[in-house]
Amino acid sequence: MLLGGPKAEGSLDTPMISNDMEEINQKIYKAFHDINSIFQGQFRILGADIHHSDQKQLLVLAMPFKITPNNVVQDEEIVSRDLKTDVRHPGVRSGYVIPGLIAFHFDVDLKRALASIGQVICASGKKYTLIGGMSGKNTDGGQMFEITNSGVKDPHPLYKFRLIYSFPNDPTHYFDNGCKFWQLNQNAQEKVQTETRKAGKLLFHLSGSIRKVYDALLAVMSKKSHCDAIELTLEGLKHIITFSDNCGHLSFVYNKLMDLKQSDSVDFAELLALCGLN
């Protein structure tokens, strides 16, 4: 069958990460607590995979105070906001939450936390000496961070991530552009969720690996916030192929889908039906 895939490793609800990464995650969480960081217990890392050095992950900061969001400007699907609050916090100035201040303080505490850890020796026997901090801007102006294993030659990032923010009285997860916070409007959010579910279903069928699908979709969406299911599938396949062995059948499918896209003859519902996924 053209769009056949190998036996699945898990279900779409249970993304897997490496044992080493889980151990490192716990070390980092504990280190933030040990240095008495203002961010201790307030963050979690999404989609971490130690093997994918180009992976851009999302680190959710669960801020401990309530906000009042104000619309600043809406540009098609993007809504920019100022977030007001009446609390005292290092990330707040004159009653407004300032993303640049939060990023600055997170950078300081991240460096302190990693320095306090020293060398990590995982159950696998692998050794990691962690360093990290700010590493330039994302395409929309949001601050990027990296954590690297300095104990190896030519180190690649173990984590490459940006911050997103949640608040206790607001269900929205906010991104930032360095100056203001932004979110997709409700219709755009629902569209992204729908298209991602469709692409994830097909990618899982093709690759048989939840971890690869999860990582691929995060990598694509960290670069492109607005993709339809076809583009997500193509870009996701490209990512999976890059980090897979024996992926000849995936390369074949990718080339076929590219041909169909270029001829403007891709019907995603038909693709799902062909795979028995409707």
> Is residue 148 a part of any domain in this protein?
yes
- 186-210 pLDDT, tens per residue? 566 667 777 778 888 888 888 887 7
Whether residues 132 and 151 share a domain: the answer is yes
Measured from the Cβ of residue 136, the count of other Cβ atoms closer than 10 Å reads 8
Whether residues 174 and 192 share a domain: the answer is no
Whether residues 87 and 143 share a domain: the answer is yes
Measured from the Cβ of residue 250, the count of other Cβ atoms closer than 10 Å reads 20
Domain boundary among 135, 168, 184: 184
- Is pLDDT of 216 > 90? no
Give pLDDT, residue 58.
73
Instruction: Pick the closest to residue 61 from 88, 84, 80, 38 (CA basis).
Output: 38
Mean pLDDT lowest among 31-45, 76-90, 94-108, 142-156: 142-156
pLDDT band at 77 (very low <50, low <70, confident <90, very high): low
> Is residue 115 a part of any domain in this protein?
yes
Residue 27 φ then ψ, to 5°: -60, -40
Percent of the chain with pLDDT over 70: 76
Domain boundary among 139, 154, 184: 184
Whether residues 258 and 176 share a domain: the answer is no
Integer angstrom CA distances of residue 134 from 139, 144, 187, 199, 257: 15, 6, 33, 32, 38
Measured from the Cβ of residue 164, the count of other Cβ atoms closer than 10 Å reads 18
> Is residue 12 a part of any domain in this protein?
no
Whether residues 75 and 123 share a domain: the answer is yes
Query: Mean per-residue pLDDT for 230-234?
Result: 83
Whether residues 160 and 204 share a domain: the answer is no
Give pLDDT, residue 141.
77
CB 228 within 8 A of CB 195: yes
Domain boundary among 184, 213, 231: 184
Query: Mean per-residue pLDDT for 59-85?
Result: 83
pLDDT band at 12 (very low <50, low <70, confident <90, very high): very low
> Is residue 9 a part of any domain in this protein?
no
Q: Which domain holds residue 254?
A: 187-274
> Is residue 2 a part of any domain in this protein?
no
Q: Is the dihedral of CA 222, 223, 225, 230 positive or negative?
A: negative
Whether residues 211 and 144 share a domain: the answer is no
Whether residues 212 and 74 share a domain: the answer is no
- pTM listed for this prediction: 0.65
> Is residue 1 a part of any domain in this protein?
no
- 128-153 pLDDT, tens per residue? 999 999 988 876 778 889 888 887 77
> Is residue 120 a part of any domain in this protein?
yes
Whether residues 95 and 193 share a domain: the answer is no
Mean pLDDT of the chain: 77
Integer angstrom CA distances of residue 155 from 37, 53, 146, 148, 159: 27, 9, 11, 7, 12
- Is pLDDT of 54 > 60? no
Q: What is the CATH number of the domain that holds 127?
A: 3.30.460
- Total structural domains within the chain: 2
Whether residues 60 and 117 share a domain: the answer is yes
Whether residues 26 and 152 share a domain: the answer is yes
Whether residues 239 and 179 share a domain: the answer is no
Query: Partners of 81 in the beta sheet?
Result: 71, 181
Q: What is the largest CA-CA distance in the chain?
A: 62
> Is residue 99 a part of any domain in this protein?
yes
